[in-house]
Structure formats: structure tokens, C-alpha cells
Chain A
Amino acid sequence: MNDFRQPVEQAKSHCLYWIFQFGGWGLFTLARISGAVTVTGLPWVHATLELLLLNGAGLGLSHWLRHFIRREHWSALDARKLIWRVIAAGFVLGTPLGILTWFTDIASLQDPGPLLQAYSPALRLQIAPAAGIALEIVNTAFVFILWQAIYFGALRVREHRSAQLKQSELARALQSAELRLLKSQLNPHFLFNALNTVRSLIADDPVRAQGAVTRLSNTLRYTLRSRQDELVTLSQELEIVSDYLELESMRFEDRLKVESNVASDAGSVRIPVMLVQTVVENAIKHGIADLPSGGLLRVSAQLKDGMLLLDVENPRAATPSRSAHEGVGLRNARERLKLLFGDRASLDLDLSKPAMATARLRIPQQR
């Protein structure tokens, strides 16, 4: 849950707590007053005064109990451990309040008489006060146990609700992260330019136009189904890269030339999906597309000591007219590499040669 929402939630639950406290004890007081007046015939002013005193003390004690429960983190306990504590707390608080109740006129509400029928009248008289006190204690303890049952019940409901809220918020966050990834991969500039090329080819060269639609579909399908942590083989990835490059050379015509040199044993190395694609896209966007006469894009890959070495080399403008060479795409690619391989993989952009850029990708071969 967001931090800024915490105080509001707390204030709300605090308010609810006092409504429950006063409501509960208030109703209990009213019920006992009417009981005392009708059953024992006590004057109602007398009964009201005594019960306000007793239940006021009860409210005070239960509030102190809540403080204690929170300090001792009882809500984190499992049910079995909690039940014994709840009963014990009920009797610890119920005993003094029960004894106090016995001394009031309210006590006659709890006449132990019927319980003692089995004993002789003499004995009955002897144990009557003790039985009376015991009955008051049990009764009052029961009130505190009931209080705790309601308290923990309410707590559970609240926890459940906030867990549900968290769950849906998490789902939303995941969804938006997924969407951001998708948006960053679906390069709209490429997409609409490719569609424009297709529109032009439909008149110029229908057969090539058909091929372009197929390649564009392949590229889009691959982009749409890939997930951040997915691994594919290099040859799978290079198939899509070649579709992409084919589309771009239709667009740029003779400005884009491609040379690819991939060792056969490198094709089976597993790499993060869309990684080489991102590097190649970067080379076109910040290299070839920036040059009026275009240039040669070179992709080479080999396996050396269990490490995939993949280089993408392209000419670049001496003075870049657009943004800096290190795009968002490359930065994302590097972050993904770090997440998946830690320090064992790397992606470097070498701009030391004038008018040339070389992206070097190093990925360990998985077993």
C-alpha cells in the first residue's frame, strides 16, 4: 500500500474502533439497566448509576487491553496460542470487575440460588457469597472474552480487505510494467514507416509487398509475445533480425547494406529475447539513418571459451544530428542483461573509431 494512504486508513480505523467501543458498551449498559429494573425491581436511577460505573470501568479496562494486545503483537499469533491468551486476559480483567460487581446491587441479577439447590440449606448459606462472587467473575470474564472475539474478528476483516486491495494494486503495477515494455519494444517510427513502404510497394511491386507484410507480421508477433525474462536461441533471434533488416532495406533501399557472419556453433546459445534486435535497431536509428548515403551494417557472432561474442558494427555521422548515441533501448538492454546474468554478461558501445560505432555483446553459454 502506498505510504501516503497509511495515515488516512489509520484515522479511519481509529474512528471505527471508538464507534464500536461506545456502541457496544452502551448497548450492553442499556440491556443491563432494563434487566435490573424489570427483574429485581431496582429504582432505575440507582441501576443506571451503578451500571455506568461498572461498564465505564469495563470500557476503560478493555481499552487498556487493546493497548496491551497491540504492544504484545497478539494479532500475529496463530489461533491456538491466541485462544489461551484471550481466555486468560478475560479472567485477569474479569476478576476485579466481577468482585466489584458483586458488591453492587446489580449482583442480585445473577442469583446463584438455582445452582445451589442440590446442597443443604446450611451449606447453601455458607457458600452462597463465594458462589456469587465466582459467578460474577465468570460472567465478567465472558464479557471480556466476547469483547476480544469481536476485536480480533474486526481486525481479521480489515486485514483481508487491505490484502485484497494490495493484490489488485500489484496486478495493476505489473500490467503497466508489461505495457511499458511493450511500448518500448514496439517502435512506432519503424512500424508506420514500414506500413508506408508496404503501401508504396503495393503499386510498385506487389510480390515484394506480400513479402513485406509477412515479414512485418513475423516481427510484430515476435515482439508482442516476448516477455522481459524470456530466453531464445541466437538463431531464433537472428531470424527476426533478418526480417527486420529486410524491411528496413526496402525503406532505405541502397542506403542500407547488411553483412552477416555467424559461426554455426553460436546459433544455439540462449540469449534474452529482443536483445540483438534492440542493438541492431539502435545501429540503424543512430547510425545508418543519420547518414545521407547510408552504409554497411555488419553483424558477426562466434563462440569462444563458453562465451558468445556478438558484434554489431555500423558507420555513424561525425556530428550526430539527432539524439546522443546511447539510446533508451540500449540502456534497457543492459539492465535486462544485468538482471539475468549479473556481471557475467556485458554490452558495450565502442565509439573510439571515428565515424564508426561497434556494439559488443558478451553472454555466457548456459548448460
Chain B
Amino acid sequence: MNTRKSLKFSTTTQRENGVITVSLRGELDLSAAPDFRKVMDPLVGIDDADLVLNLKELKYIDSTGIGIFLSILKARHGMNSKFYVQEVPDHIRKLFEMTGIAKFFAEQENSQ
């Protein structure tokens, strides 16, 4: 288990039964984006495990944060590895819907 912390954004990474789960906590915006990329960079290329983002404790995300999710989605899609988000809070689900990207994550979720 590996934890990265900053004042307003932190992640916890766990690997269990072939699933890597990164739990996001706090506010993921332009200033937190470099840290989050650093966390995700070594994980995205792992092809013998599913990659999951748990958003239960995610309070806020801006377009830069969504951009990172989408880049992970594309990278995982390109290598035929599973990626999905789980426990999406209502306000973030609503944002995904408004931005027209909800279905990208939903399809992935259904395919697990």
C-alpha cells in the first residue's frame, strides 16, 4: 500500500487479486494534476491487472483531472487492458454526463 498526500488531494493505491485500485481523495485540479500523473504513470502500463479508480472520496475534479482520466482510458484501451471508475459520487457523475463522457466510463464499468 502506498499513500501520497498533499493538503487537498491524496491517493491510496492497493493491489489485490489482480486488481489495482487507486482511491482518490479531495480535489483533483490543475495544481494536483502533476502529482496524480506521477502516481498513475507506472500503473497504466501494467497489463496483468485491472486498473480501477475509486472516486468515493473525490470532492472536486476540473477539466485537467478529467483529461487525465481520459488519457488513462485511451492508453488502457490501446493495450486491451481493463480500466474503470467505481463509486462515483453523484455530483461527479452529473459532471461526466454534462461533459458527454459518462458513457466511456460506464461501458468500461459494465465490461468488468
- Co-complex (A, B): no
